[in-house]
Structure 1
Amino acid sequence: MTVTSREVAEQLLRASREQDTERFVDLLAPDCCIEWPFRPAGVPGRVQGRDRIREFLTTQANGFVTFDEYRGTVFHETTDPEVVIVEYEAHGTVVPTGAPLHQTIIAVLRIRDGLVVSYRDYLNPLVLAEALASVSSGADRLR
């Protein structure tokens, strides 16, 4: 049975929310590229390749924020069967500080042969910058 691009996007979003790095990475093509066109300083704009993405997620991203839920998730299937656009609100916690995090996200995914080949994550960079600043200021207070 052939899996649709939307089904792959749903699986990827579920793995992301559950912070299941291995399941997430298994849904990526070997040369997949994840991009963050809008981001605060210190956050890479692009990570390419399944192994580099796994490394990024395990060493930098996981443990920074935990996601409790994604709300208002809307999948937009396009005239290109490979492209799915997803809108959602991520609700979670900044782990080092315990501060709540609410992020509105639009993601554009290109999925070919059941694997994500491109993932552009349009998040609000101000929310992420505030979370990073709260972690930095918390670390400064501990010194």
Structure 2
Amino acid sequence: MSKTKYAAYKPAAPYFDLVRGALGDLVDGEHFFDVVTDGTVYEVRYDFPGWPRVIRGRTDLMAAFRGYVDNIALQSADRLLVHRTEGARVVVIEYEVHGTILATGATYDNRFCSIIEIENRKIAHWRDYMDSLAAWNALTAQARSAAAPTAAS
């Protein structure tokens, strides 16, 4: 990952590196943000507070990920499966990420499946599916533990 150009996104580096590696020589650019354009559509197929269902263009995607890295620091991304279809124009990746919720220190582990359409050696469309419950549980861990009854209650 470019150390200076995308330094603010270092907390998501394991994700970016995994995706970039999964796409290999199908796209041009060193970093994840180098392989998206102003025409890229990044669509999430889940409702999650604070994250838009559709993000259009590189600038808005970078802004959304800036919010992500302000809240979650990933330590790793793994369990990658790559499926190439339609002459490698469509790539399906399955993977997991592991990290920490910065506000609470809670562990964050999640599973994803992403369908990526490539045009002109760039990401044209991204459809993302994740374990929304895993994300919700990690982000609300402190609130749940504070509200849970104790043995002394």
Fold-level similarity (TM above 0.5): yes
- Identical amino acids, percent of aligned pairs: 24
Distance in 1 between residues matched to 2:75 and 2:132, nearest whole Å: 20
Q: 1:108 aligns with which of 115, 122, 146?
A: 115
Q: State which structure, 1 or 2, has the greater radius of gyration over its C-alpha atoms.
A: 2
Q: Which secondary structure state, in structure 2, belongs to the residue aligned with residue 122 of structure 1?
A: strand
Q: 1:14 aligns with which of 2, 14, 17?
A: 17
**In the alignment, is residue 133 of structure 1 matched against residue 140 of structure 2?**
yes
Distance in 2 between residues matched to 1:34 and 1:122, nearest whole Å: 11
Q: Which secondary structure state, in structure 1, belongs to the residue aligned with residue 86 of structure 2?
A: coil
Higher relative contact order (CA 8 A, sep 6+): 1
Aligned to 2:104: 97
Structural RMSD (CA): 2.7
Aligned to 1:69: 76
Give the paired residue count: 123
- TM-score, normalization: structure 2? 0.69
The amino acid that maps onto 2:61 is I
1:129: how far off?
A: 1.6
Structure 1 runs of 4+ off > 3 angstroms? Answer: none
- TM-score, normalization: structure 1? 0.74
Unaligned runs of 5+ in 1: 1-11
